A and B are shown apart, each in its own frame.
Chain A
Amino acid sequence: MRPAVLARLAWQESRTARRRLALYMSSIALGVAALVAIDSFAGNVTRSIREQSRSLLGGDLQVSSRAEFPAVVDTLLDSLAGAGVANASVTSFASMALAGGSGNTRLVQVRAVSDGYPFYGTIGTQPAGRWADAHGDAPLVFVDPSLLVSLDAQVGDSMRLGRQMFTIAGSLENVPGDAGITSVIGPRVFVSSRWLDAMGLLQAGSRAEYEAVLRLPPGNDGTRAGTALARALRRRIDPANPDRIAEDATRERAAGALGGGERLDDSVGVENTTAEGATIPPRVRVRTVADTERDFTEAVARLADFLSVIGLIALLLGGIGVASGVHAFVVSKIDTVAVLRCLGASSRQVLTLYVLQAGVMGLVGATAGTALGVAIQLALPGAVKDFLPLDVSPTLEWRAIGLGLAIGVWVALVFALRPLLALRRVSPLQALRRATDDNALPREWTDPARLIVDVLLIASIIGIAVARTGDWVEGLFVSVGITVAVLVLWGAASVLIKLARKSVRSTWPFALRQGIANLYRPANQTRAVTLALGFGAFLLSTVYLVQGNLLKRFEIADSAAAGNLLFFDVQDDQVDALDSLVRTAGPIVERTPIVTMRVSSVNGRRAQALMNDTTIDRPGWVLRREYRSSYRDSLSASEKLVQGEWTPDAAKRERRRGPNGPYEVSLESGVAADLMVTLGDTITWDVQGVRVPTVVTSIREVNWARFETNFFAIFAPEALEAAPQQFVLIANIPDQTVLARVQRDAIRRFPNVSSLDLSVIRSTIENITSRVTIAIRFLGVFCLAIGIPVLFSAVAATRRARLREGVLLRTLGASRALVQRVLFAEYAALGVLGAFTGMLLAFGGAWALMRWVFDDTFVPAWGAAGAIIAATVALTVGIGLLTSRDVHRETPMAVLRDA
């Protein structure tokens, strides 16, 4: 037969089945949609990063440090300015804002920027264009809209930062390089750097981030010149170790991008930094536009990889849906194929006829999926704009669309081929004497074509998984994970079939007996439905269980918190006065001294030498960071001693130490592990120029989520009592009005002291978790949505047999209600099995994710699990009864004649 004629015959032959076949093939649509949406969005973001990378950085180059720049950097910047390289500074720190009108206070993130910043992009304000006045003689601030709400202030009102009064000149609409979500953590306040001294907030030891952005003179090739200048700068700043600067910066950003943040104590900005006397000089990072581009692109790629695993699973589940749907299609074509064979069609012609149909319908399904994916992609930038530091303009990504279409059609075809191959073996004899559907489709396990398709199928799964994850090991891991899940579900279904066979009793009501018997009768749908249902339930439950466990981490154990108002950055000479001020309103529950220090040496080896020792894989931060430590005699409620001994008795400690021995120090277990020290090891600390030798005498576990000060290192009091120190005060003032008054009074008298109340932290966390929850809910709904078309296909696979059986029952006198009950029993049993097996897998998966990926313990959420199981059973029964409604619609005669 000529190909054109074959194609025409395929088209003609598909007439009545096109819609049904398209429905089966569209099982892959959601998977394709996910892949296209993820790839397109990643493409859009990557392109936007490329276009906006200078705005992201604010300049061609950025130099930054957590401490004031060492003299060498300032000199370098000055000499560069002479050569035409302009620079602008940004100093960021936390402080209290006091609204002049309402008298409300709020902890804010201050960005003091010099004229010229940003070199690329603009700071958008409301009213528009006010940024131009930022550096004038009038003291102006620009604030996040959320701050206006929480301070109950308006544009034009006055606002105090430190010792300086400002006018709120406008609200911030768009800041290049900042994601909107950052304002949730602390509202931003932009101010000209000329007011830095007047505010008086940056004293020695204040925690701040110092940045300088550089702009190359016009005419330079930005990227290459920037990279060359960055290299030169690194060499000049740290001649011994230029690469460390680059490498550390990259590592740190990678940790940030992965969601690793700082502890609560750091994020409220209590840490102080001094350059002087530090054993390792403060780290100065130099970033180029290319670095920014690379880091953002990598982070986007990682996120896309993660999401596309879900897309991949959706695609493969869709494949299973295609396979069971096409099986149903094949069964309905046995008669036609038998006739075609009688009329002289070869098995190749028959196969081509139906592969053509499946291919076209697969293309239809994949196209529908692609269209859906594009629609999602267009909606995504709006949904996630708060999380992105740049504007993403959605454009069609033809590569993603082409790839999605190709993968979709391929997966649909490979999965369709398996059942289609059976058509080659339909005997023409079936036209004379029709066997049962199963017998008419002989399957031989050794059929080479079938083996080839099986190999193709497995290779496709692994191939796509490897291509998506971009890593052989990960790809194989994902493939094996999916295979294990399929095997578990398949095994569970087989066990159910055996159980059903054994357990049916003649004493059971007729409907129950028939329904359960349908689970093991020939042409049963037990395996296919369990697989579809179980996988959907598995994915959905895993997402929900992990979400529940992750969100638990953010819960503050406030019931146990003794206080609700925290003051920090309290200087030595302010603490007593503040103490008595606060006591007029309520009790002070904690007064903790804080001493800043760095590690000087560990077990006699200098920190710098340990850093340079590449043979030990020790995280650099533990040696480099500035520690904010405290001293006390007793353990706090949030600490638990896990090793060693805590000696509360000063006299006993003194005796043990001897005249010149090291002081006792207790380390938090995590930092001890990262420092690679254990009981008896010695650490010498550099406490603002003074060396303090210590010996590790205990290791503590700390619950960081409590509203208390906690520390990596706690010293015996005699070690630090004489050192320069700051204080943290925690008070308990339940009345919110009184609390607000105390905050206001405190900031008026002590402008440098910051305060934070528990309700602000709680609302911040709720704000963040609710956004995360929405994202996760969307994922969950998507996972469930994947299961539905697959379930439809699986149920459709045996619809014919069910229909014939139901009509036969009705012919023999069964009522509609009875037939309904038979179907109900069968689908309820399938639903329960699928849901429970899926849930079992989900508990395993969620446990493994919590244990290995999130490094936490898994707490099962029984309520959510129960709800998901109930919903899954309801869905199965619903879909089952829906697809079987023809039993009631058709007259018995019609179906019998058809049979």
Chain B
Amino acid sequence: MLVARALSKDYASGEKPLTVLHDVSFEIARGAYVSIVGPSGSGKTTLLGLLAGLDTPTRGTILLDGADMGALDEDARAALRGEKVGFVFQSFQLIPTLTALENVQVPLELRGEVSTAEATKRAKALLDRVGLHGRSHHFPTQLSGGEQQRVALARAFVNAPAILFADEPTGNLDGATGARIVELIEELNRERGTTVVLVTHDSALAERTQRTIRLADGAVIEDISRVPSLV
């Protein structure tokens, strides 16, 4: 599903480039549930950005479902994201001017493959699925943090993505609300066979995943696979 080969990322910083990722390689199978962990500044978010095609590596290749992300321009990568990738962010990143329902519809509308009526139907169904029935016409500011993250989840799944990237999805939520979100992610992972890659500080959350890749100073220092705990 996802292949990272000898990934490096440099940033210009003063006269010398600053290397934040060194020679990172791994593969993630379809339907896998993987966490990326590491201390602050270890390169987790940079790696997530590269894997999701939000940025390009300085060296190395990423194959997402067979497509070489490095060979695509920004708009082609955007199209690929629209088709295959879902996102969940720590700070939810809902569009503040759109209602919950409209936020969920956006990915479908950007692709333009289904009619508006169909998009509304699917978005409503997903909002019901994440337990937000009756809240679909609220604006993000009218929703609690947990509710906003559930809208974000619905939005991430509305396109039936092959892979979901989650960046500290519980980072801004209290323990119980965070747990509910994780459960939802796991349910959707199971129901739809979506590959899930999540970046987290939370070791308990990492423990729940099938595989944990640990980063330190921009390099993979540990890659543990474990028997799925919740299967």
Contact = CB atoms under 8 A, between A and B. Distances in A.
Given A344-B79, A427-B54, A5 B97 contact: no
Contacts of A893: none
B82 A427 contact: no
Given A17-B97, A336-B97, A344-B110, A431 B89 contact: yes
A340 B87 CA distance: 11
* Centre residue among B45, B75, B155 by max chain A CB count within 10 A: B75
A344 B55 contact: no
Given A12-B98, A13-B97, A343-B110, A431 B87 contact: yes
B82 A345 contact: yes
B54 A343 contact: no
B107 interface: yes
Contact of A336 (B79, B81, B96): B96
Contact of B78 (A16, A336, A346): A346
B82 A343 contact: yes
Interface in B70-97: 74-75, 78-83, 85, 87, 89, 93-97
B69 to A, nearest CB: 13
B48 interface: yes
Interface string B26-61: 000000000000000000010011001011000000
Nearest to A428: B54
A747 B39 CA distance: 109
Contacts of A460: none
Contact of A344 (B96, B98, B111): B111
B106 A340 contact: yes
Contacts of B107: 343-344
A29 B206 CA distance: 58
B116 interface: yes
Contacts of B94: 339
In terms of DSSP, what is the predominant structure of the interface of chain A?
helix
Contact of B49 (A12, A17, A335, A429): A429
Contacts of A2: 112
B48 to A, nearest CB: 7
Contacts of B78: 341, 344-347, 428
Contact of B75 (A12, A340, A347): A347
B110 A345 contact: yes
A723 interface: no
Contacts of A427: 54-55
Contacts of A502: none
Contacts of B81: 341-344, 428
B109 interface: yes
Contacts of B93: 335, 338-339, 342, 431
A263 interface: no
B102 interface: yes
Nearest to A5: B109
Interface string B155-171: 10001000000010000
Contacts of A344: 78-83, 85, 107, 110-111, 159
Contacts of B97: 12-17, 336
A343 B98 CA distance: 15
A5 B54 contact: no
A403 to B, nearest CB: 34
Given A344-B81, A432-B89, A9 B116 contact: no
A69 to B, nearest CB: 80
B33 to A, nearest CB: 20
Contacts of B49: 429, 432-433
B95 A336 contact: yes
Contact of B110 (A335, A340, A429): A340
Task: Point out which of B81, B85, B97 has the most chain A C-beta atoms below 10 A from its C-beta.
Answer: B97
Given A336-B96, A432-B54, A433-B45, A9 B106 contact: yes
B110 to A, nearest CB: 5
B13 to A, nearest CB: 13
Contacts of B87: 342-343, 431
A448 to B, nearest CB: 15
Contacts of B111: 1, 344
A4 B204 CA distance: 46
A342 B106 contact: no
Interface string A347-389: 1110000000000000000000000000000000000000000
Contacts of A347: 74-75, 78
A13 B112 contact: no
Given A1-B110, A343-B110, A429-B54, A348 B75 contact: yes
A9 B108 CA distance: 12
Given A5-B116, A343-B82, A432-B89, A13 B110 contact: no
B167 A432 contact: yes
A898 to B, nearest CB: 10
A343 B116 contact: no
A1 B83 contact: no
B102 A343 contact: no
Contact of A1 (B75, B96, B98, B112): B112
A3 to B, nearest CB: 10
Contact of A13 (B55, B89, B95, B116): B95
B25 to A, nearest CB: 22
Interface string A98-133: 000000000000000000000000000000000000
Contacts of A12: 97-98, 102
Contacts of A341: 54, 78, 81
Interface in A1-44: 1-2, 5, 8-9, 12-17
B160 to A, nearest CB: 13
A345 B159 CA distance: 13
Contact of B45 (A345, A349, A432): A432
A789 B173 CA distance: 43
Nearest to A338: B93
A1 B114 CA distance: 10
A385 to B, nearest CB: 51
Nearest to B116: A5
A8 B102 CA distance: 11
Contacts of A432: 45, 48-49, 54, 89, 167
A16 B116 contact: no
B137 to A, nearest CB: 12
A5 B112 contact: yes
Interface in A312-345: 335-336, 338-345
A118 to B, nearest CB: 66
Closest 6 CB pairs of A and B: A344-B82, A428-B54, A1-B112, A15-B97, A346-B75, A429-B54
Given A8-B116, A346-B75, A347-B74, 9 more contacts: A12-B97, A13-B97, A16-B97, A339-B94, A341-B81, A344-B159, A346-B79, A432-B45, A432-B89
14 contacts: A5-B112, A12-B97, A336-B95, A341-B78, A343-B81, A344-B110, A345-B82, A345-B110, A346-B75, A427-B55, A429-B55, A431-B54, A431-B89, A433-B49
